[in-house]
Amino acid sequence: MLIETESTPNPATLKFLPGRTVMDAGTRDFATPEEAEASPLADALFGLGDVTGVFFGRDFVSVTAAPGVDWTGLKPDVLGVLLDHFSANMPLFRPGSAAGISVPGDDATFGDDPEDADIVAQIRELIDTRVRPAVANDGGDIVYRGFDKGKVYLQMQGACSGCPSSSATLKQGIEQLLRHYVPEVTEVRAV
């Protein structure tokens, strides 16, 4: 099995492509070892000790190294964990009972005004069709969190979370795109 590796705009994060589907639908971001306990793969990656973030996309896994960690030493260990996991066809998530299921909260979600439904629909469509595919190419994802008085609130995940160029991506890329197609948008903010 060959796992390709790509750099991302975030120097702390590498994107690993196992050549197969990782997530059938959606994405999953693990920011702590406690969150990673839901997945044998994420748990094993955090278990390496120098990992501070794991992100599952449709066909990739992004791994973020702790500050000051050199990828030269960490990359072979990550590749070993990924090879073991995918070669053995292990499940991505641990089975659980309904009592063990938890859905990450939308703490950073802003309530959309029903009068803005058409605007919100346009914003969501642009994010889903134009922004998310481009961000996925960089090993991350972007999640819509709300629209309020001209401001669009978005959450960066995976390689995009904590990336030095994420604020430029938001302001010079996403904000300009949204303002061009949706005149009601005045600003884009990360949450």
Mean pLDDT across 19-29: 92
CA atoms within 13 A on the CB side of 114: 0
- For the stretch 97-120, pLDDT in tens is 444 444 444 444 567 888 899 999
- For the stretch 118-157, pLDDT in tens is 999 999 999 999 888 888 888 888 889 999 999 999 988 8
The CA angle 84-158-48, to the nearest 5 degrees, is 40
Query: What average pLDDT does the structure give for the chain?
Result: 87
Mean pLDDT across 36-43: 95
* Model pLDDT, residue 114: 87
Alpha-carbon distances, residue 51 vs 44, 89, 92, 137 (angstroms): 10, 23, 18, 21
Radius of gyration of the chain (CA): 18
* Model pLDDT, residue 110: 66
Q: Is the pLDDT of residue 68 over 50?
A: yes
* Model pLDDT, residue 161: 76
Alpha-carbon distances, residue 71 vs 54, 74, 122, 154 (angstroms): 15, 5, 40, 29
Alpha-carbon distances, residue 19 vs 60, 87, 164 (angstroms): 8, 11, 28
**Weakest mean pLDDT among 9-23, 30-44, 88-102:** 88-102
Using CA atoms, how far apart are residues 3 and 16, in angstroms rounded to an integer? 7
* Model pLDDT, residue 158: 82
Does residue 139 contact residue 159 with C-beta atoms inside 8 Å? yes
* Model pLDDT, residue 109: 55
SS (H, E, C) 59-107: CCEEEEECCCCCHHHHHHHHHHHHHHHHHCCCCCCCCCCHHHCCCCCCC
Tokens of 50: 């120098």
Rounded to the nearest angstrom, the gap between the alpha carbon of residue 126 and the centroid of all alpha carbons in its chain is 18
Q: Is the pLDDT of residue 62 over 90?
A: yes
- For the stretch 158-191, pLDDT in tens is 877 777 777 777 777 888 999 999 999 999 988 8
* Model pLDDT, residue 57: 93
**If pLDDT is split at 50, 70 and 90, which confidence band does 66 have?**
very high
Q: Which residues, 6 or more positions from 64, have their beta carbon under 8 angstroms from its beta carbon?
A: 10, 12, 13, 51, 52, 53, 54, 55, 159, 161, 162
Look up tokens 């839901």; give the residue.
Answer: 38
Look up tokens 């796992």; give the residue.
Answer: 3
Mean pLDDT across 72-92: 95
